[in-house]
Structure 1
């Protein structure tokens, strides 16, 4: 499929299907839309009346037009209220149009959307992202594709002439989101710690990034007892992935993105029981998937920041070598941890990854992880929790998320809650009381960052969608990639 900017006027565009966006408070046809309606023998006005179309966000209606017209079909899509038009409105609207256009078996589609106060380049990128993400289908594990119908081949973005660079940027970002979706969606017998390391190697080879893979022995030399404690039960070797993008010239800032990389989580000896969703625990590497997806996008965009992409990848399994509840592990910064729950393993792997990153002399670190069910209880399945003691980093991430359309909400770092993590035998336990579980998890991670501004994103909810939602299909969403890319690209303040 080709998405291209077009300077063809709305009234002159010719193709299978023309899609037009209308605001909720301006459904009346005026100007060139009134002229178009006249040319189509009043079919638009009639359609609006018959369907009682109000222009509500993401609503759509469509019809075939009379033979002899430049177009065969027309789609009207709602944008909601004029003052509420955001970039993500355009992204979601484009996704709606793409799905309807495909349903109508259109090969060529013209799309005309008002941009409001948004810059043309940002709007074009958002629209192109929405189209591509909505139409993406993961058919890798199908013996035959289920959808054998007509495919959308060309989309013309009317009124966005000259925005080729923005569409290229969308292609780059979407390639990272799709990589993350593929990694999360693939089963644990397809995506292993070895596979994640190979994926990092492929990105490094294709785009000229530096790659360091620390094997078990290397991690032992660095004293990564928390990470290795989790890894010791698996028959598969752990892989500590450190992928680095460096710009030409002096970087404006140095950043790290750390992703939790549990390719399968059985719970360990605190095994996940019936109804726990153990069969879905292939998604527990969603943080690592977003990290590698962001790496793929960043490597193509080539910003002026240096970025380190890190994941301590392993499985959390059960065997005679498994860590026991009650074991005490020592992380690479010397802090000791009493393991009172082997199913709280992600924070143990992140602990050593944070210590590693903290020594790199960075300006900021962001980790993201499918860390706690408690965060899903607090914020639902569409929103990630943001935890940080640093207001500047919080502000950067909130702005990055807003423009990406990914929802995050800043949560409190209530230091008093750390009392629940104190151990009589070690420096801390790996879990505290049930209440405030996502907060105590973040406070645990905070113990492993000494000098660097840091933030933690708990993405347990939005990493997976049970049903189609906006530009996300059901299944893996690739959540976090667009926010991370925007964060890296944000100007230095």
Structure 2
């Protein structure tokens, strides 16, 4: 699929399908739209009348155009109220248009969103992101590709003067990262192993000139990573501690760390997950690591001014005679001791040592993201991730980046008194507290492994996977978090 941004008008474009993004304010037709309606012998107004189109966000319709016209089909997609249009509105509208063109077997698609008072470059980027992500299909593990390859081969963004190809290149880089994360999350645990995550990091490093350090079990032992290795010890597959580094040309404006939970499968350990626990879906428990590597792939292409460290303590949580037991005490790399009262609260143990490692790099800020707690899904549902931080500036920066990226987060409190539920008689802390406030106590646990560096924890357990088509997501891994992370890193250029 190729994107084109010729800057010409929908009035003189020719191709298979022309689809217009119309806000509620675009009706009744005037200006360019009225002229286009005349060109197609009133067919645009007829289509609007026939389906009672009002411009409602997400509504679509399409019709065939008579012979002799420049276009074969004419479609419309609603944008909603014009003063409520955001970048994500445009992504979703472009996704709907791209799916409509694919359904109608159109090889070339012209997209026109006339009369928008938005930055042309950002508009083109949002449109491209929505279309690319909507048309992505992951059929790697099907013996027959029933969906076929996307029929949309060329997309022309029309009626957008004053923008160049750089916005499309940015969109493609970001989508490359999102698609990588999607495919890592969607693949089964017999494919995506700790070794595969390390290989993926190596591929990114080799393709884009990043530095890569993979710590093996013995090196992690030497660093005292007892919490991480306690989780990993029952698996036949060796753990891989991944440290991928992007360095800009010249002196970095900022030094950042992104830490992703990398449990490629979580059986629950000796506290094994039972029926109805979703154990069959625990391949998604590396959604944080997937987003981290996806962000690395995008950032390596976009080349921001900040230095960024991408870290994941990758492992499996399995069962064997060597498995950690409830009641065991583990010692993390900062010397703190942890009583394991539930082996199914393993992600926070791996993150503990990863956070200590990240802070020792002397970074200016740390963001971790993890499919950490079912409690966060209970609190916020499947579409919204939790955001935890005691640093107002960093929390606001992540929230702003998420809004621009179109990913939903809700800030939850770091209620310090809830840490009482993690206190242990025999160790510094337990790895789980009482059932109420489970996502908060998980965040408070992680806080014990970051001393003074500004830090944000993102609990993305809900949004990394979807069972249904929604917006620009298709069923499977969503790549959630990549766009927010990339936007946050890019925002450091402006902040500097």
Q: Normalising to structure 2: TM-score of the pair?
A: 0.98
Bigger mean CA offset, 111-120 vs 99-108: 111-120
Alpha carbons of 1:61 and 1:399: their partners in 2 closer, same or farther (altered >3 Å)?
Answer: same
Partner of 1:17: 17
Partner of 2:420: 419
SS across alignment from 2:139: coil
Q: Judge conservation of contact 2:260–2:312 (CA < 8 Å) in 1.
A: yes
Partner of 2:279: 278
Aligned mates of 2:9, 2:463 — CA distance in 1: 39
Unaligned runs of at least 5 residues, structure 2: none
Partner of 2:374: 373
After TM superposition, what 4+ stretches of structure 1 lie above 4 angstroms from structure 2?
A: none
TM-superposed CA distance for 1:150, in Å, is 6.8
Alpha carbons of 1:148 and 1:183: their partners in 2 closer, same or farther (altered >3 Å)?
Answer: closer
SS across alignment from 2:290: helix
The two structures, once aligned, show a CA RMSD in angstroms of 1.0
Partner of 1:72: 72
Partner of 1:52: 52
Q: How does 1:185-334 map to 2 (within 5 A)?
A: 185-334=186-335
Partner of 1:104: 104
Alpha carbons of 1:220 and 1:147: their partners in 2 closer, same or farther (altered >3 Å)?
Answer: same
SS across alignment from 1:6: coil
Aligned mates of 1:127, 1:39 — CA distance in 2: 25
Aligned mates of 1:147, 1:385 — CA distance in 2: 34
Partner of 1:31: 31
TM-superposed CA distance for 1:24, in Å, is 2.0
Q: Judge conservation of contact 1:115–1:123 (CA < 8 Å) in 2.
A: no
Q: Judge conservation of contact 1:105–1:149 (CA < 8 Å) in 2.
A: no
Aligned mates of 2:270, 2:24 — CA distance in 1: 55
Aligned mates of 2:302, 2:25 — CA distance in 1: 38
Q: Normalising to structure 1: TM-score of the pair?
A: 0.99
Q: Judge conservation of contact 1:384–1:408 (CA < 8 Å) in 2.
A: yes
Asked if 1:445 is matched to 2:438, the reply is: no
Aligned mates of 2:168, 2:16 — CA distance in 1: 22
Partner of 2:132: 132
Aligned mates of 1:329, 1:285 — CA distance in 2: 22
Aligned mates of 2:444, 2:117 — CA distance in 1: 40
For residues 381-429 of structure 1, the C-alpha deviation after alignment (integer angstroms, 9 at most, x for no partner) is 0011000000000010011000100111111000010000000110000
For residues 197-241 of structure 1, the C-alpha deviation after alignment (integer angstroms, 9 at most, x for no partner) is 011111111111111111000000000000000001000000000
Alpha carbons of 1:310 and 1:150: their partners in 2 closer, same or farther (altered >3 Å)?
Answer: closer
For residues 32-82 of structure 1, the C-alpha deviation after alignment (integer angstroms, 9 at most, x for no partner) is 211221222211111111111111101101100111111111011100001
SS across alignment from 1:212: strand
Bigger mean CA offset, 299-308 vs 7-16: 7-16
Aligned mates of 1:345, 1:139 — CA distance in 2: 31
Q: Judge conservation of contact 2:135–2:150 (CA < 8 Å) in 1.
A: no
TM-superposed CA distance for 1:149, in Å, is 6.9
Aligned mates of 1:39, 1:11 — CA distance in 2: 8
